[in-house]
Structure 1
Amino acid sequence: MELYDTSRSRHPQGGYDQARVAATRKKMRSVERAYRLAELREAQQLNQTELGNKIGIGQRTVSKIEHGEIERSRIETIRKYVEALGGEIQVVARFGDEAYTIA
């Protein structure tokens, strides 16, 4: 996975392409969060297939979640994943400096 390439990130007029830098940061955060989910699953001594069976999804879906494809996953699937590991999901909507817990 390519996250950052300075030769292509440079803006033609000097400096860095801030949109590309922001997109790279977002992707890195997604990968980090997904990796942490995999760590939590492994700490429970479950493999992807076992967790998938436990919550009614396939191993492939578990793998996608753990590789940062959370934005394409349904909230219900993520909720089941987290609850199977003993956690709890909170859905927060942010509007500037304000945050609203909606679930």
Structure 2
Amino acid sequence: MGSHAFARLRESLSPEAQAEAVALTDQMDRELSLAELRKARSLTQDQLAADLHVGQASIAKLERRTDMYLSTLRRFVEAMGGELEIVARFPDQPLVRLRGLGELAEEEVAEAGE
């Protein structure tokens, strides 16, 4: 659902705007807040809210949260056209990508609208 809306948005941009979005994405730091990530992806809170079927105020509130369900974070990232990966880092082994987290039933994801 989210990646389709982002693809439509991206296709509606001029070639110059698409190139700028790619350049910004390439320059993004590895550590960004959700609001910074949304802005770097050239999305407004209203656009993201429409894709997630919530109000703009819910997006603003979600961006300020320091704690949320992984499923909510996954939906937020997917609405921006990305994919959420959870990685565990240990000093004595390579990165471990954790799977199956944040894939709860839709009724449990109502937190985004709170």
Band the TM-score falls in, shorter-chain normalisation: 0.3 to 0.5
Give the TM-score of the pair, scaled to structure 1. Answer: 0.47
* Structure with more contact order per residue of length (Cα contacts < 8 Å, sep ≥ 6): 2
Larger Rg: 1
Give the TM-score of the pair, scaled to structure 2. Answer: 0.44
